[in-house]
Amino acid sequence: VRLIVTEHAKHFFSESELPAGVQIYDDTTEWKSWTQRGDPVVHIELGKWADMMVIAPLDANTLAKMAQGICDNLLTCTTRAWDMSKPLLFCPAMNTRMWEHPVTTQQITTLIQWGHVEIPPISKKLICGDTGVGAMAEVETIVKKILSIRQGKHTSL
């Protein structure tokens, strides 16, 4: 497992909570490893290495960037360079008002049309204190979907 984190994602976990051996990549990794033409480019190498990508959670900002092809951080560069023959799963998570906005539906539809797999959000108490749809799917649901795809038994949720 290799973990790509955005600057905002760093606020939600501690490296000490991760299993041993999980490699963490962020925007600084991209630029530290590349110094001259011919050096490996991290977002390209990650895409070559991985047989599947899971984005969990996928916030409204990154969803919008992905749907428009914006590449302004390691995660969005990696998704833009992703081999479309390999599965990319995404787990939206945002406030209910953001989830219900019409542009969110358009952006989700775009990713699905590209062949990416949505693991829809669920309804529960959100970080802001509101209750409604927008919480990331339960980890168990995400793991089941990953396993079903790896075993070639992909079905819609």
Q: Choosing from 71, 77, 91, 128, which is the catalytic residue?
A: 128
Phi then psi for residue 18, to 5 deg, are: -85, 150
| Rounded Cα distance, 95 and 127, in Å | 8
Q: In 50-86, where does DSSP find H-type helix? A: 60-68, 74-80
Question: Quick one: which of 73, 93, 83 has its CA closest to 5?
Answer: 73
| Rounded Cα distance, 107 and 118, in Å | 11
Cα distances (angstroms) measured from residue 84 to each of 30, 120, 141, 156: 22, 21, 23, 18
| Rounded Cα distance, 110 and 89, in Å | 13
Name beta bridge partners: 2.
23
128 is an active site residue? yes
Q: List, by residue number, the catalytic residues.
A: 128
